[in-house]
Each structure stands twice: as C-alpha cells, then as structure tokens.
C-alpha cells in the first residue's frame, strides 16, 4: 500500500558506522575445556570473536536522542490484535503493508536507532520489492530479531510461565546474523500477583543468561528483558522489591555465563504500581523508584537501558522516560516501545492506502517525542487525547 515514492523520499545515508569494515565472520569454538589438577572439571567460556562488534553495535543502538521501535509482534498478534482492531484480515499481504508503512517513514532514523523484527519480517520485502533489512540500514537503523519461542506454563510454579526457545538458538542466531540482524530480543515475564515464586525468578534469569551468551557467540547483541507485568493491584513499593530480586538474579546468571556486559542492552519495566492499584504514581515518582533500582542493580558497563512501555499510554510512557532523563545517568536511558509508538499510527492508517502519509506522520510524532524524552527535553504540549489513553491488557502476550 505504501508507494515507491515513499521509499524514495526516505533519507539514504552512507554505510552506517556499525556496518563499516564488518565481514561475516564464521563463529569460532565458544567453549575451551581445561583439565586442572583438581578433581572437579572447570569449564571456561572463551571471549566471543565478535566482542568488538558487539560493543560497537550496542553503542550505536544506545546513541543520544534515539531508541528502539519494537515491531516484533508474532503473526498471530500482528494480525489477530493489531490488524483486527482496524478491521483487516490477518494475511501476509496486510502484515507486509503495515510493516512497509512503519519502516519507510521519512527521517525515522533520526529518532530510531534499532527496530526489532519478527522472523517473517526479517526475510520480508516491502510492498515495492525492497528488502526490509536494507530499508532499515539505509535509514541508519540497526535491524534486530525476536528469537524466543514464546511463553508456556512453568510446571511446579504458582500458575507462572517460562520462556522457551533455547533449543536450536545457536543455529538460528547464526542464520539471523547472515540475514542482517545485529541484535536480538528474548522476552520472559514475571507476575507479581502469582508470587513471584523463587522457581519462576530463577528460571527467567537462567534462560535470559543462556540466551545472552548464545546470542553473543553468534554476533548478536542480546536485549535482556525480564518483563515485570503490570497486572495486579499492588503498590509501587512492591514492584520495587520484586524488581530488585529479579535483576539481582539476572546479573548473577549473566556473570555465571560470562556474558560481556558492554555488549548487551536491557529492556526493563519501569517501576510503577500495578495497573489496578488505587494509588497512581507521578512521572517523578516513577523516575525516582526506577533510577534507584537501576543504581542498585545495573552495572555502569551496560551501555543502554531501553524501557518497555508495558501498556502505558503513549504520553505516559514518554513523560516517565523524560522524568528519568532530567539528570545525567551512567547508562543511555531510552525506549523500546511497540504500542506506545504504533497505537495512533495504526488507527490513523486504518488499512487505507490514502492514509499512509498521515499514519507515518503520526509515528514520526511519537518517535520525535520519545527522542526529546531521551534527552530530557519533552514538554507534553500539543498531545492528542487519543495518545493519552491507556493500553493495558491483562495477561498481554506477543
């Protein structure tokens, strides 16, 4: 539905710094086995041959005034929820049209540094035949890829979930790298109303650590995302305590797996009250609790903290991010939003070709707003009422 002229109007930049000089190295052996005199065997993981590239990619994504467009919804979610909400059938052609609209926004790369794709999208072309990966690179946007295989019930837990997808991850990651992806995403979730149980927290942390190590061995910067769900009526202090426990476990296991901290990105939830809590928090309170959590748990070696919106309204997510950037932080504090970037854009499009330009302008408005928030310069002036509407969905899945 997007015309060829839309693609041509997007700025075509030179080869991005994060791609310059990068060949497609073949992964080397990732494990070195030692035979010490002691009776217990010691296994030492060698440094990834991609270490320098990982650091460069992470710094590119975590560049000033830019953040991540999360457009990695599964085909079922993209069609069954996004497209269905505007009356469109879930077909590959409709998914392709919508994704084309997103990646061909003129000037998007000024505010967006990375785009997380679903596997179909990584191999997909735009409606006028250009590879989506190539369109992103021309906009100086780093292509990323969702690599997990979704949530399933965790046996022995309190109705909690664990994230599957480690089987075959190394070979899939190598193929994604060859296709042009340079970072990866793995989302697992923690439910406060259901505990969280010690089993669920440890399972989430261990799975994220194994995924991160495997991703780095295959040239992909891992986004580490233990999403603490908004579900529940708990207060902000309860969220803070759970988040401290979760991130302590995550970094313990990342260290156990010898993950290069300079070559990862984090995608945490902001510290907020539960979506059904009576007492709401101001952006300043959210910033205070969230930054306190980060200072207590996140090493300064990590280059970027790319927050998820988690069902907040478009404006609420931007205001909270802006509040966190009112003073310098040890890390790049930015965004990795899906619904909080796309909601108004999708509604304005409505599946109609004549609405493409207006929808793209709506996406650019949100990208610019969050770009300003990353720099601590967002004011909230001129926002539409629609952008202030909450998007929380209980038990939301991707």
Q: Return the structure tokens found at 48.
A: 């990834």
396 alpha-carbon distance from chain centroid: 16
What single DSSP character describes residue 25? P
The b-or-e profile of 301-339 (16+ CB within 10 A means b, else e) is ebbbbbbbbbbbbbbbbbbbbbbbbeeebebbbbbbbbb
- Read off φ and ψ for residue 70, nearest 5 degrees: -90, 105
Q: Are 341 and 69 in contact (CB under 8 A)?
A: yes
Query: 334: which strand partners?
Result: 306
Q: How far is CA 138 from the centre of its chain?
A: 21
- What residues contact residue 7 under an 8 Å CB cut-off, 6+ apart? 104, 126, 128, 130, 135
Residue located via tokens 């950037």: 325
In contact, 118 and 73? CB cutoff 8 Å: yes
Whole-angstrom Cα distance, residue 268 to residue 244?
11
Just list the catalytic residues: 225, 267
User: Is the CB of residue 213 less than 8 Å from the CB of residue 227?
Assistant: no
**CA distances (Å), 89 to each of 194, 215, 253, 332, in order?**
35, 34, 43, 39
- The candidate with the shortest Cα–Cα distance to 234, out of 203, 258, 269, 186, is 269
Q: How far apart are CA 107 and CA 338, in angstroms?
A: 18
């Amino acid at each position: 539905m997007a015309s060829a002229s839309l693609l041509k109007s997007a700025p075509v930049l030179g080869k991005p710094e994060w791609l310059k000089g990068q060949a497609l190295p073949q992964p080397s052996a990732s494990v070195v086995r030692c035979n010490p005199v002691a009776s217990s065997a010691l296994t030492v993981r060698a440094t990834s041959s991609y270490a320098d590239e990982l650091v460069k990619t992470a710094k590119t994504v975590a560049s000033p005034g830019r953040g991540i467009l999360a457009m990695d919804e599964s085909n079922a979610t993209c069609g069954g929820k996004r497209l269905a909400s505007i009356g469109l059938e879930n077909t590959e052609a409709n998914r392709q049209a919508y994704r084309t609209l997103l990646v061909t926004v003129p000037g998007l790369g000024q505010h967006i540094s990375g785009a997380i794709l679903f596997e179909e999208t990584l191999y997909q072309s735009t409606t006028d035949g250009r590879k989506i990966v190539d369109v992103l690179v021309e906009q100086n946007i780093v292509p990323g890829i969702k690599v997990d295989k979704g949530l399933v019930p965790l046996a022995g837990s309190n109705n909690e979930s664990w994230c599957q997808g480690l089987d075959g991850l190394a070979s899939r990651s190598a193929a994604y790298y060859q296709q042009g992806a340079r970072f990866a995403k793995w989302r697992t979730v923690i439910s406060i109303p259901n505990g969280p149980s010690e089993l669920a927290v440890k399972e989430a942390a261990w799975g994220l650590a194994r995924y991160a190590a495997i991703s780095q061995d295959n040239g992909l910067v891992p986004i580490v995302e233990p999403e603490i769900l908004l579900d529940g009526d708990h207060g902000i202090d309860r969220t803070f305590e759970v988040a401290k426990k979760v991130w302590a476990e995550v970094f313990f296991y990342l260290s156990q797996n010898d993950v290069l901290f300079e070559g990862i990105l984090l995608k945490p939830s902001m510290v907020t009250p539960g979506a059904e809590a009576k007492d709401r928090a101001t952006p300043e309170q959210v910033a205070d609790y969230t930054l306190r959590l980060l200072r207590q748990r996140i090493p300064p070696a990590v280059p970027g903290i790319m927050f998820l919106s988690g069902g907040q309204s478009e404006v609420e997510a931007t205001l909270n991010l802006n509040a966190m950037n009112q003073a310098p932080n040890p890390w790049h504090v930015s965004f990795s939003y899906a619904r909080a970037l796309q909601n108004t854009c999708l509604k304005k499009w409505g599946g109609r070709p004549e609405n493409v330009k207006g929808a793209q302008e709506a996406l650019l408005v949100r990208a610019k707003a969050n770009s300003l928030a990353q720099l601590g310069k967002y004011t909230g002036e001129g926002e539409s009422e629609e952008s202030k509407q909450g998007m929380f969905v209980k038990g939301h899945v991707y």
